Structure 1
């Protein structure tokens, strides 16, 4: 789902929402800005009064001159202090906005369907949540506050110029359309390059993330040089894109404004010379205008220099906007818990791609409390069956039902409380063992301990120095593969689910851990509905019924004994093949 709004407008809508969110803070910042501008503009005006009314008139009375000097010093000190306070207010608005945007983006990512993550790259997502939101902060602090501050300053200077001399003010105003033209030309020349550089930065993050995550495979396959070449290619493209942007900025931003300000200065001196000839010019006015011209061109230069940040922030904001408008996973509103755990797949049709269907009219009924095994060759649809039951994907036709209620009617909370998943690759947090079982659900300690007992994890916990409070390190490096799998089993059981799903849970563990898993399944038999996808057929030999899938179709079903009674059957062939492989491994070890 892509946003319908054109690039830039979406970002402005997102930003304006935050600009006016804290109206009290915005009002304080604007009042401070106006006061700072008034104090800033007062300086040259006071200097003009001193030159024309006192210095040239040779009326240097100590009282008035001292008062003017004090007023000048006070105005400049007040301007500096007010600018400082105003900058703090705008920065506070910016950080609060980015804090909220980042929280909203990550919360939205957590609600996206699994189909989105099938095509998304981790590094790019991380870049959107971190770098792109940081660019939006720069838009607030470096662009929005600078532009607003300098626009108000320009208005103040123009008013002061008009009060001093209208004709000289009109000459100075010629700078504004010229600067607008420079900004327009800069946007036209640099827009695509800035977007390209943001995209390349995301790809660099993605390449880094993938390389670091797969470092063991890279080194084992000797692919370090290839990875370095890919990264260097991305880095060079990013360098060239950034250099193109910098070259355009170097020509059109500061140098162009400096040239225009020199031309404006020539115009002011020329007009002043005509006035001097006519006998209507005042030296103090010229001083004030030269002072104002320096202050007049500086805001214009500041604004144009910030347009580089503006371009980056607009691109970043649109990327954040597009991510925020990805359709989230929709769940029903039925909050009642899953009580029995009966599962049914009725006339199920599903495909990841339109030209490659996975299921075509699949029908399966799993009674509550039964232990069902699911086997089949790679690509037969075993894991897809579990993903549909977890509501990670929606079927193209047909229904998935739990307790005779369509799955899409259940609320997210009801599904996650009622269904426990034990995946093939255990995901372990860097926190404590207790935290990894509880997973932020606020479960009672007795419930967590009971789950650990059911997963036969207590002997390990007794050996750890801090028991349940032992820190496991990143990815659970302190635990073996089998112990991590037992921990994930305890996590799934902690919420007392009515349906327990195991997706190749014994594929990567040793025989001892497989026996622990089998013992846990035997103890749960009859208490919860268990659907076990297994590569090791010995794991599900005690199942009430085994479903054999082939190319998305249910080709055989029955108990282990019934299926083995079919010599020509797919299940019996798979089982004999595994037994032969196991006997061969034992013989080699012997």
Structure 2
């Protein structure tokens, strides 16, 4: 069963690798014609040498004109062969690189469209390895293996035809090399396949560990975990080293040395065969010279082909990994509604669970009118962020109905949802690019719209003081901005799109009071124009909300305005608010 699975995987990977070759047929035809001409020029050289030896040298005929013509023809074929090989290599490399470019683009485009649920179980480092290292291995297959095998296979056919024209018996002896080489290739694949797959898996794990370690370096150093992470990396590195050494040992044993041994054996057989027929007086010296020349050229392509089979093995494994990624299912066909008209939201008996045995939302029913300001609070795990994820269509609801302006969410296109719903997360995502690019995000927004968004987010004065203004580069993760400014930038990015629904997921949890005040001012300006759904840790952010929902274990247990909820003697909201108020008073007293 496992062998059948690997066979199917390799077949699909093979189809992926070579499905792009025929895209540019004119270029492929030109490359094939150049290959044929180069092979013909290669084969003509020994035949001309045979003609010179047997018809002129052995006959003691040294007529200047015929010899000059033979020499000129020989030089022409050798120079022409070199030039044709150069041109053919350029064409094949062009085809190969274009094919790999398309594969890499296709993989990345597919990854961008995968549902968020898939990323919940995906490892970032391994994903990066598949998009970069594995596609690079496919490139090596195209550029080195495919070009080498095709070129040398055609050359072998040309040499066999030339051998047949010279002497069929010696050709039959030379052909003994081919089954021996096929046997070596089969044995190499059997012995090295598992080791190659293991080495690529270990490389992905190494990339993943490095990615996670760099991202979590403050935590690692604060916890004194450097030694443990270093030991784990050493274990992965050792396993990768061992798997690579296994493939190298098999390659060193079965590829070039074994081919050389076979070629020497065939050379001895050819010389012995020549001796047998020479006794009968049935063969010429020039034929032996041409055969020895052809045999050397016959051996080299076979050696080149076998040496490239380690690249083939790696590319098959890499292609299978890339193909497995491409076969990850995309979200169901999206709806046709082009935009969200107003921004009204309704949850009707909505239930949801990441795992079937652990429900997160339970029979949630909620009506949010367009333009209203809704605050959501609750302890960790109560389902607040999950509610926002469902609105963004990151996950489909398990039961019930989620509608936007009286249409179910699956009736809207993904573009309509992305244009009509904006998210301001707790952890801001900042590209290593300019301020303008971070706000625009490829939407080609007008200058006035960007400046208006910056002003509403409270960043207008700051940007005006920068020497390069909107063209200022922010560095990786926005290192040139403070924590508050990064959050303000994300707010400006969301506001620039003028969304119908604006979602804030703990957006003020990690900012100072001044930045929180800016966020509150922005919310007040948008109140009535945009539907605001704000998940807040700081309750002061949502004091002016039209309605505040208190969630616990996937259910709304309290709802009302700030004033109404504060009147509940034993209410959860009132308790949370009093705790935060006391903490703020203590902090102010300590500061004074």
**Smaller-chain TM-score range?**
over 0.9
| 1:567 alignment counterpart | 569
Q: Is the 8 A contact 1:505 1:534 kept in 2?
A: yes
Listed as ranges, the matches of 1:228-377 within 5 Å are: 228-330=230-332, 332-377=334-379
Q: CA deviation at 1:206?
A: 1.2
- The separation in 2 between residues aligned to 1:464 and 1:314, in whole angstroms, is 52
1:34 maps to 36
CA distance in 1, matches of 2:271, 2:6: 52
Q: CA RMSD in A?
A: 1.3
2: distance between equivalents of 1:214 and 1:77? 59
CA contact (8 A) 2:421 2:502 kept: yes
Q: Which stretch shifts more, 433-442 or 301-310?
A: 433-442
Cα distance in 2 for partners of 1:418, 1:4 equals 45
Contact 2:43 2:159 in 1 (8 A): yes
Residue 18 of structure 1 corresponds to which residue in structure 2?
Answer: 20
CA contact under 8 A between 2:373 and 2:532: conserved in structure 1? Answer: yes
- Map 1:124-143 to 2 at 5 A: 124-143=126-145
Task: Pick one of 86, 95, 98 that aligns with 1:96.
Answer: 98
Answer yes or no: is the 8 Å Cα contact 2:96–2:143 preserved in 1: yes
TM-score (norm 2): 0.97
- 8 A contact 1:331–1:412 mirrored in 2: no
Q: Aligned pair in 2 of structure 1 residues 465, 142: CA closer, same or farther (>3 Å)?
A: same
Cα separation, 2, equivalents of 1:61 and 1:13: 58
Task: Give 1:5 deviation, angstroms.
Answer: 7.7
**Runs of 5+ consecutive residues of structure 2 not aligned to the other structure:** none
Figure out how many residues of one structure are paired with residues of the other and give that number: 588
Q: CA deviation at 1:570?
A: 1.3
Contact 2:35 2:151 in 1 (8 A): yes
Between the aligned partners of 2:580 and 2:511, the Cα distance in structure 1 is 16
Change (3 A) 1:409 1:26: same
Whole-Å Cα distance in 2 between the matches of residues 185 and 430 of structure 1?
A: 49
What do residues 166-190 of structure 1 show as CA deviations (whole Å, max 9, x unaligned)? 0100011111111100000000000
Q: Partners of 1:572 and 1:162 in 2: how far apart? A: 97
Q: 1:338: Cα distance to partner? A: 1.1
Q: 1:84 aligns with which of 83, 86, 95?
A: 86
* Counterpart check, 1:165 vs 2:167: yes
User: Deviation digits for residues 320-379 of structure 1, max 9, x if unmatched?
Assistant: 111111112345232332121100111112111122111121111111111000110001
Against the structure 1 CA distance between its residues 4 and 334, is the aligned structure 2 distance closer, same or farther, given a 3 Å change threshold?
farther
Counterpart mapping for 1:398-413 below 5 A: 398-413=400-415
Q: CA deviation at 1:587?
A: 2.8
Aligned residue runs from structure 1 range 188-207, under 5 A: 188-207=190-209
Q: Distance in 2 between matches of 1:67 and 1:78?
A: 16
Q: Distance in 1 between matches of 2:251 and 2:295?
A: 23
What is the distance in 2 between the residues matched to 1:337 and 1:150?
58
CA contact (8 A) 2:338 2:415 kept: no
Q: CA deviation at 1:584?
A: 2.3
Which whole-Å CA distance do the structure 1 matches of 2:21 and 2:522 have between them? 56
- For 2:388, the equivalent position in structure 1 comes to 386
Q: Secondary structure at the match of 2:528?
A: coil
Q: What's 2:445 paired with? A: 443
